[in-house]
A and B are shown apart, each in its own frame.
Chain A
């Protein structure tokens, strides 16, 4: 079972460049999430999508955009990368609506912005 698949696993960008992190899940989950993890801090929610066609801001949405392309896929875009966006990004999904439910995580994408 693939579960939650994120690509790329590693990326180095220069300040101002753009990129998209891709996430796909094969568990027919309704809800999908993008988190970032920084040293010394807990995971923080960037954006989430409760269902296909809907997206909502989380705790740290500035500098990011998202697209819920279909039920399987939820992408995160950095339009103009900044060094402050150097982080490890995790995509997650869950099956419940109206509550977070058990989370299933991708393996993470390590992004460095120079």
Chain B
């Protein structure tokens, strides 16, 4: 079993829909990262969080440490949000990130 599981693997939405991507992990962590990988391949860090909730524009990330679960929400989705969203957990020692396999999101106009 993978230590970091994302769901769904693939997600198709209509423009304007509210989107939720989930990340569950089975190990103790010090922080969790959400990354976005563009269709061209570039990777951008969206959030790093260790508790509670963070918001940036239309993106919201939440984490429940007790339940070992995090969600990434996108409000009022847009075709430019189409990308692969990657969850990664940090286990405390430098460089030791464990990555999920990603969720491929496609937003149709």
On A, residues with C-beta under 8 Å from B are 31, 33, 40-45, 48, 50, 56, 58, 88, 90, 92, 97-105, 107-108, 110
Contact = CB atoms under 8 A, between A and B. Distances in A.
Contact of A99 (B45, B86, B94): B94
Interface of B: 2, 4, 30-31, 33, 35, 40-45, 48, 86, 88, 90, 92, 94-102
Most chain A beta carbons < 10 A, residue from B4, B33, B96: B96
A16 to B, nearest CB: 27
Given A99-B30, A99-B92, A102-B48, A45 B41 contact: no
Contact of A100 (B4, B41, B94, B101): B94
Contact of A43 (B44, B45, B90, B99): B99
A108 B41 contact: yes
A36 B63 CA distance: 27
Nearest to B43: A105
Q: Which of B31, B41, B95, B98 has the most CB of A within 10 A?
A: B95
A56 B48 CA distance: 23
Given A42-B86, A108-B42, A33 B95 contact: yes
B82 to A, nearest CB: 18
B47 to A, nearest CB: 9
Contacts of A98: 94
Given A43-B99, A48-B94, A103 B41 contact: no
Interface centre among B31, B40, B43 (most CB of A within 10 A): B43
Given A31-B95, A50-B95, A100 B90 contact: yes
Contacts of B43: 90, 92, 103, 105, 108
Contacts of A58: 95
Given A31-B94, A100-B31, A105 B99 contact: no
A45 B89 CA distance: 13
B38 to A, nearest CB: 10
A69 to B, nearest CB: 18
